[in-house]
Each structure stands twice: as structure tokens, then as C-alpha cells.
Structure 1
Amino acid sequence: MEIKFKVQKAPIVPKPPLKNIQPSTLAFVQVNPAKKDKAAQRKIRQHVMKDIGLSRRMGTIRTPHPTSESIFIPTYWGDAQVCYNFRRLFRAMDMVSEGLLSIAIVDPVLRLRQKITATFESPPTVEEIQQYTESLSLVREGIEAESKASENAIIGTVICLATFDMRAGNSESWMVHMAGLERIVAMAGGVEELDSRPAIRQSLFICDLLGSMVEDSEPRFPLPRDLPTLREATRSKYVQKLLTSLRTDEPPNQEQTAVIDGALTLANQVAIFLNEEWLVSPFALDLLIPVCALAHQVLSLQRKISLPQRKEILNATSTEILAEIVRISSVCLFALVMTQSSGDALYIAARRNNLVKQLMAQLDDKFWKGKEELQLWVLVIQVCMGVGSLKPWYLGQITQTMPRIRLRSWEDLMNCLRKVVWIEKVSPLEMTHLRSDIGEWLS
């Protein structure tokens, strides 16, 4: 039996039409062997091999890189004075151990942000604790046996530890490290001996000053020997009149009048420096050291009232309370400058309290008569500090005081502040909000 299968016929696929390949228009007529004729070889390379190479060549594959994803390469701006001093400070801090500098100036920023935003504060990492312990061990070994570490390394390490604790908000540890620095510097020959080591001396000065600014305490170490000379500030007519009236009060208090004079003079000096010289050429001048030097002098002014001792406030005279208010306000003005120039809110965050309100509550309207410009100056500085829930109280005091001296516009208020002392571009955000609030009240 024969079995037959029915096979399905596949459809006939039409052949693609032949490409119209045009013959080359170039024809060679070669008599001599082409290998020996250089001109013929050149023609072959130019015309024949050209088409063959193009048939095999693939285009270059380029990966697109949008501008937004490109890596930013920082530009070197040259040896500006402010950069030079920061570099000296960082070298002094970084010379003791690897990674200590980053702990001192980077990690505490996260802690500060957590405190300001009232979020949960995570405990220190194992790496931080290990680095901190190693640094303390280095200090102990250096103190026990001087041959194991140089004096610069010991002092630099303690400076780093103090800076870390200051920025992390560990006030007690900062005080312990600063007390240790006093002993170590004394054993090294005193601060006069450190004047010959500019990097260490400047690091010690800045660490001491910034920590004292946060704590509002008197600096432990004196000013360095070599400091830039600033132009002397003259008292305004209003300040001269104010000081004259304070000297004629009964009973006169020359010490507290000198504190008010010193605080306003130093604030005026930094205002002249920032309003005129630094505004013209910000990168040609050294901003860090002059401002810190003036802040050092403000923090060194006499303090009659030890805040927050309630008994001392109640027993203090009106002039003593006014002197403390003016001193605190000048320190706050320096804190605003440091915060604005560094971007670090640590210096003003430490002053967001009710101390100024507590002091001003002890002075009645009769005492402020004739001193309204100074009163407004104090109130506006506190508003710039970002006092939070206390802002309505300060705004109420400002709006009550302005009509007494016939201030009817924002420009009138600014002219009033300039009579005392004012830095034109300080705290721009808070000043904008204050201007809006004053505008609503005036309307």
C-alpha cells in the first residue's frame, strides 16, 4: 500500500529587486605594475579603498551627557586673604590625625540641624566614638611623654576636640577642653611663645572666640599679637548725647557707662568695616580675623549682672541693666554677622531666649524717655535673631515706641537705627519680614 502525504506548498517569496549599482566612473589603465608606481598606489588609496573602508566603518557611539548631570569642577580663585586664613586653620587642625578635621566641622552640623528642627537626635556613631577616643589617647600620651608627640600636635588635637564639642552643643566638654588648653599652653611657655607659631596661635584664637561667642562668656586667651589695623570709629551725635546724659545721672555709674560706650563703639567699628570697606572689595580683605578680633573685645567687656540670676537682676540699678542690654545686643549683632558670613545658625541659635525681654521688663517708659532710638535698636536686633514665639511681643514694643519719636515710615525707622549703629545688609530675610509687618501696621 502506498501512502501519500499532502505537502502544503510554501508561498513563493518574491526576490528583492536588485539595487541599481552604478559602476565606478573611474577606470584605470595600468601598463606598469601598480606596486612600483607611487602615483597609482595613491589613486587606489584615494578612490578604491575609500568606498571599501566606508562600508565597514561604524559611526562613533557617543553617550549623551546633559548639562544638568555634568560634574561641576570648582574654579580656583587665587590666594584671597580669607581663603588663606581658613587654609592655615584647617592645616593646623588636620595635622594631628586623619579624619579629625571632618569630625570637627562636618558631623556637628547634622546634630545642630536636628536640634533646631526638634527631630530625634541619633547617638554618635562607632566611628565618631573611636576617633574621639583615639584623639584623647594621643593627648594623654603626649602629656605623659613629651617625646612621643610635639607640642603643636597636642595643642592642635585639643583644639579639634574643643571645636567638635562646641559645634555639637557639648558645653561642659568644651569647657573641659578649654581648661586643658590653658594648662597645656602654660606648660608650652604661654601664648607669647605661640605667637611664633602662627597656624597654632590663630587656630587657638578662633576656637576660643567662637566657643565664647556661643556661650557668651569672656574669652580665655588674649588677642594675638599681629592683627590687622582697622580704622577707628567715631561716635555719632546721638551716641555722644546719650553718653553725656548717662554721665549726669544720679547716682552716676562710670563703669557701666564705659561698658555702653565700648559696646556701641565696637559695633560701630564692625559696621564701618562691613558697610564701606568690605562692601567695595569683599575678596581683597580679611573678613574672619578682624570681625573675630572685635567680637573678642565685646565679649571681654565687664559684666555686672550674671544672667540668669534673678536676684542680681532685681537688685541691679537701671544703668547696670541698660549696660547689660546694650552689651548683649552688640554681641547679638556680631552673632548675626558670623551666621550670615558662615551660613551656620549655631551663633544665633544659642541666643534665642527671653533674657533681653526679662531685662527690658525691669525698665519702665519713664527710663526710656529720651532713649527711644536705643530702645528700637535693641528691639530690632532681637527680631533679627529669630526669637520665634517672642516676636509678637517685640513687634508690639516697636509699634508702641515709633509714634513717641514720630516715626511714620520704614525709612524713618532705618534712619533711627543708623543714628545708633547699623550694618546695612545684616539679616536680610528677617528685615524683609519686619518691613512687611511694619507696613501692615502703618496701613
Structure 2
Amino acid sequence: MRDITKAQRKPPPNGRVKLRKAALTGKGNSKNKTSDAKTLDASAPEGHSGEPGDDESATGNIASHISVSTINGSTPGTPDRCLTEVQKPTPLVDFKLDQHPLDVLYQSLAGTNRFPAYSLAYAVTQNVKVNHAPGRSFLFPFAFKEAPLYHRILTGQQVAEIVRSSPEKSIMIAITQFTEVLRCIRKRLSHPDLDMALSDDTIMAVIDSICYSFALEDLTQARCHLEGLYMMTHSRGGYSSFSKKPDIQQMMFWIDVTAAIIFERIPRFPLPATLLPTPPRTGTSAIWDLLILVKETECQSDVEQNELFDALKEVSSIAKTIESELFTRGDAAWHDAVFLSCLVHPVAHRLLSTLEQDCEKQHLPISTSIRFGIALFIIILKQQSRACPAPSTPYVAKAVAALYWDIPNIPSHMSSSLFTLQLWLLLLCTIAYPDTTLLPEIQMMIARIQKQSNLNSWDEVAATARLMPWISKFESCKGFGDYLLDDLD
């Protein structure tokens, strides 16, 4: 296919910005650097998350894959980035620094990546916000599917040096390029042909905007773009209109569930069962004991109880699957955002879909503790793959508050089940957000439960929590035991 963008590109006024092709060998050519040129090195260190493979069937982005001569009578040669055809991945380039390196990087992203605004924001936020809380950075795992090499560049040392040398300028460039994506979206939505206005490319650009907002932790703006995505999907005929585009459907589902977790609301899109089948549900003796306890002490319908415990058993199965993958793949599985999300997003969807009959509103302390435990389990896994764009503080605060609710008198032989649940929930709180101001309170609660249940050491406390859904990697997370050991010994 003829590269229309390059064929018609006008040279810069000063004639100094030069692009020189370099071989994609996996190593940067450091010997060819000059005093006024800089090369983005393909051998830069990767981020710790897994990189998906290439997928040639996916559509391009709004800034690079919209057909020429379809809007406003444009013809080939029109220098409108909203209209140019998709380019094949271009090699790494050397460039003069008359133009800011991030501007040049964005131009390359816009030609080869479906999420240019997010990708640039991802590179910037990796290096500007160095003191954010654990799990706050955001990696959209589908962003680099067509050009995985860009993930290595964006997380490399040279981009880091560029961003850190001028952080405010870098943020402004990311914002400026984001406005270009918004301009393209507005232009496409104004098209009189509804099929053109609501095309796959427009949808992908809106997803790019949502991920950009997540990367910058602008949740208000993200919510606005999410509403736009839902309206556009409804106007297209609903979520099923993407049935022949499973890659886009899976991205939309991923975004929807992530947003539902952040905003604590019901997911808008249905669960795509054909893409994400329900995993087996296996219970443990501790889970069965809890089910008996709930049936005897809380007034819930059998349907509500079954939904909650199906989710708990599903999480237990997920924990076993992850343990198996950790044994086979090592830490790569622990940071694989696609693998982890495919496991936890379906159960998150089912759990959040029952918010209308929320046991918290019915003041059911045991069921509420189970619900928050499942939610924190999911959040921790998303944090490990950097796929959680917001802090877990609200969930931690509500989980701790639920433990203060009055619990009806229960038979003495069933008290151990309650203590197991409470310890599990409290330890998940310390892992999900270990720097919380609630930590002293959590310490006191664990010490109290330890005394009531005659646990004589921290090892016994941890062993009790392992009776519930648990992953051995939890014990190496910041917060597990570090702040509690002195108080419990």
C-alpha cells in the first residue's frame, strides 16, 4: 500500500528535522549519536508487564486509519491527520532536537499505534509521578498490540531522561497531542453518515481518550469519555454490534469493568461469555463453613447467597490457577495484565452486577465482608499488572468500617469461621493499600482477633488467612507483615 502520509508530507520550514531509517535489531546504535541528534533506543529496559503479541486484524486509530477522501471532499494529499491511511510500523528514527523529541515520538505513534494520546501520556506519567501510591500507574494491555516495540521505547532510559529533564514541558506536549485526538473525534462525529461517524475508528479514538485520562488520573474526564462511549455504542445498535470485532469488544469490556471497579457501579456492557468463559468454581472447607454461617445468621434469599458464594468459589479457583502459572512462568505471570484481567474481570463483572441488592445496604456484616474481600482480591491483582488507575482507599475504608458492625450471636463452634474471614479481609487491606492512615486501626483489629482465636504467632495469622482464597505472592507484597509483625509477636 502506498504510504500517502509520507508521500504528501511537507518539509518543515527550517528544513532541519531529518528522519533516518535504522534497522530494528534490538540494539540502539549508540556509535552514531551526534551532539545535535538523539536516538530512541530499542534495547531500553522493558516495563515489568507482559506484552501482547501482534494482531493484524485489528483496526487502526482515528488519527491514522481513517480513509482518505471521505470527509469534506478531501482528496489524497490533504494534510489532515484525521484522514490519512494506516502506515506500516516505521523503524526507529534519528531526529534533530529543533522539534521536541516527544513531538517527534508522537508523530511516529500516530502512524503506527491505535492509542497515540494514551501511549505518550503513559511514557510521561512513568517518569513524572515518581511518588504515587502503589498500583496507581495505569497500563492498558492492548495499547501496544500492533507495535510492541513501542512499549520498550516508551519505558526506556532515553525517554525517561527526556521527560525528567523537562517534566512540565512533557506534560504540556501530552495534553496538546491529546487535543488533536479530540479534534479528530469531533470532526468524525459531525459527519452526516452515521456509519462513518460511529465507525470502529471513532470508537478506538474514544477508548484512547479514556485510557489517556486514566493515565493522568483524571477520573472526572475519564467518566465523561466513558459516557460518550456508552452513548455511541447504544447508537450503533448496542454491544452486539461489535460481535464480529472480538478484539474491540474485549477492549470495551476491559475498560467497562475497570471503570465499574473504580466508580463502584454496575457494568454497562454484558459479559462476553464467548470470549471469557466462566472458570471452574471450587470451594474450600473455610468457604463451606462461611456459607453455613451466613445461612444461619443473615436473612438473604438463596439466590443472593448463591451469587455471592459462587463469586468467592470462583476467586478461589482463580488463586489456584495463578499459583500454577507462577510455578510455570514465574514472575511473568504475576505482571501479565491480559492474563490476570481475563481471570478476574468476569467475576468482577458478576459481583458488581449485583450492586442493586448490595448486602452493604441491607446491613449484612458477614456478606459485606465477603464482598469487600473479593473486591480487594481483584484490585490487588490489577495493581500488580499496573491496570488499576485509581487508589483502593475507598474499598479499604469501607471494609474496615464493615468489621465494626454488630454481628448476631453465633454458636461458639462457628466463631473460628468468622475470625478467618476477618483476618483474610484485614490482610488484604494492608496489601491493597499499605500506606493507608487506617493501618494503626487495622493493626489493633488483627491483634484483637489473634487473641480471641488463640493465634500465638504471625505465621499462624498468615496460615489462617490462607484458608481463604490466597496467592503466595501476596506475602511478598509491600505491607504484608512489614507493619504488623512487631505488634503481633
TM-score of the pair, normalised by structure 2: 0.62
Match of 2:379 in 1: 335
Tell me, what secondary structure is at the counterpart of 1:354?
A: helix
In structure 2, give the amino acid aligned to 1:268.
S
Q: Please say if 1:143 is aligned against 2:143.
A: no
Q: Distance in 1 between matches of 2:214 and 2:309?
A: 30
Instruction: Check whether the contact 1:377–1:420 (CA below 8 A) recurs between aligned residues.
Output: yes
Shift in CA distance, 258/148, structure 1 to aligned 2, threshold 3 Å? closer
Report the CA distance between 1:399 and its aligned residue.
1.3
Match of 2:74 in 1: none
Match of 1:192 in 2: 240
Higher helix fraction: Structure 1 or Structure 2?
1
Q: Distance in 2 between matches of 1:353 and 1:250?
A: 23
Match of 1:258 in 2: 306
Q: Distance in 1 between matches of 2:458 and 2:225?
A: 47
Instruction: Check whether the contact 1:234–1:265 (CA below 8 A) recurs between aligned residues.
Output: yes
Report the CA distance between 1:139 and its aligned residue.
1.8
* 419-428 vs 292-301, which moves further: 292-301
Q: Distance in 2 between matches of 1:417 and 1:86?
A: 41
Q: Distance in 1 between matches of 2:396 and 2:287?
A: 27
Q: Distance in 2 between matches of 1:203 and 1:254?
A: 34
Report the CA distance between 1:297 and its aligned residue.
2.8
Shift in CA distance, 415/303, structure 1 to aligned 2, threshold 3 Å? farther
Q: Distance in 2 between matches of 1:337 and 1:89?
A: 27
Match of 1:178 in 2: 226
Among 27, 34, 43, the alignment partner of 1:73 is 43
In structure 1, give the amino acid aligned to 2:347.
L
Q: Distance in 2 between matches of 1:365 and 1:378?
A: 19
Match of 2:450 in 1: 402
Q: Please say if 1:289 is aligned against 2:306.
A: no
Match of 2:211 in 1: 163
Match of 1:302 in 2: 355
Match of 2:295 in 1: 247
* 253-262 vs 382-391, which moves further: 253-262
Report the CA distance between 1:303 and its aligned residue.
4.8
Match of 1:133 in 2: 179
Tell me, what secondary structure is at the counterpart of 1:73?
A: coil
Among 326, 344, 359, the alignment partner of 2:402 is 359
Shift in CA distance, 349/240, structure 1 to aligned 2, threshold 3 Å? closer
Report the CA distance between 1:340 and its aligned residue.
1.4
Report the CA distance between 1:252 and its aligned residue.
4.6
In structure 2, give the amino acid aligned to 1:300.
S
Tell me, what secondary structure is at the counterpart of 2:472?
A: coil
Instruction: Check whether the contact 1:95–1:156 (CA below 8 A) recurs between aligned residues.
Output: no
Instruction: Check whether the contact 1:93–1:159 (CA below 8 A) recurs between aligned residues.
Output: no
* 247-256 vs 265-274, which moves further: 247-256
Match of 2:122 in 1: 105
Match of 2:419 in 1: 372
Q: Distance in 2 between matches of 1:408 and 1:95?
A: 63
Deviations 1:277-322 (A, max 9, x none): 4432466996142333333333333354598xxxx5xxx43x2x33
Instruction: Check whether the contact 1:212–1:218 (CA below 8 A) recurs between aligned residues.
Output: yes
Q: Distance in 1 between matches of 2:436 and 2:45?
A: 39
* 370-379 vs 134-143, which moves further: 134-143
Among 359, 363, 366, the alignment partner of 1:322 is 366
Instruction: Check whether the contact 1:262–1:298 (CA below 8 A) recurs between aligned residues.
Output: no
Instruction: Check whether the contact 2:203–2:229 (CA below 8 A) recurs between aligned residues.
Output: yes
Instruction: Check whether the contact 2:266–2:352 (CA below 8 A) recurs between aligned residues.
Output: yes
Shift in CA distance, 136/92, structure 1 to aligned 2, threshold 3 Å? closer
Q: Distance in 2 between matches of 1:365 and 1:402?
A: 20
* 393-402 vs 203-212, which moves further: 203-212
Q: Distance in 2 between matches of 1:294 and 1:250?
A: 23
Report the CA distance between 1:126 and its aligned residue.
4.2
Deviations 1:31-62 (A, max 9, x none): xxxxxxxxxxxxxxxxxxxxxxxxxxxxxxxx
Match of 1:83 in 2: 52
Report the CA distance between 1:349 and its aligned residue.
4.5
Report the CA distance between 1:169 and its aligned residue.
2.4
Deviations 1:156-184 (A, max 9, x none): 01111111222322222222211211121
Shift in CA distance, 187/85, structure 1 to aligned 2, threshold 3 Å? farther
Q: Distance in 1 between matches of 2:394 and 2:454?
A: 31
Q: Distance in 1 between matches of 2:64 and 2:439?
A: 45
Match of 1:59 in 2: none
In structure 2, give the amino acid aligned to 1:132.
F
> RMSD between aligned alpha carbons?
3.9
Q: Please say if 1:224 is aligned against 2:272.
A: yes
TM-score of the pair, normalised by structure 1: 0.68
* 268-277 vs 140-149, which moves further: 140-149
Q: Distance in 1 between matches of 2:395 and 2:63?
A: 33
Q: Distance in 2 between matches of 1:94 and 1:433?
A: 48
Shift in CA distance, 133/304, structure 1 to aligned 2, threshold 3 Å? same
Deviations 1:210-267 (A, max 9, x none): 2223223322212234325464121111211221232233645445533531341232
Instruction: Check whether the contact 2:61–2:204 (CA below 8 A) recurs between aligned residues.
Output: yes
- Tell me which structure has the larger Cα radius of gyration: 1
Report the CA distance between 1:122 and its aligned residue.
6.4
Q: Distance in 2 between matches of 1:89 and 1:230?
A: 25
Instruction: Check whether the contact 1:208–1:220 (CA below 8 A) recurs between aligned residues.
Output: yes
Deviations 1:92-116 (A, max 9, x none): 6885672324245334456755664
Match of 1:420 in 2: 468
| Higher relative contact order structure (alpha carbons within 8 Å, sequence separation ≥ 6) | 2
Tell me, what secondary structure is at the counterpart of 1:296?
A: helix
Structure 1 segments unaligned to the other structure (5+ residues): 1-62, 64-70
Instruction: Check whether the contact 2:369–2:422 (CA below 8 A) recurs between aligned residues.
Output: no
Q: Distance in 1 between matches of 2:275 and 2:196?
A: 33
Q: Distance in 2 between matches of 1:105 and 1:90?
A: 21
Tell me, what secondary structure is at the counterpart of 2:53?
A: helix
Match of 1:54 in 2: none
Instruction: Check whether the contact 2:267–2:353 (CA below 8 A) recurs between aligned residues.
Output: yes
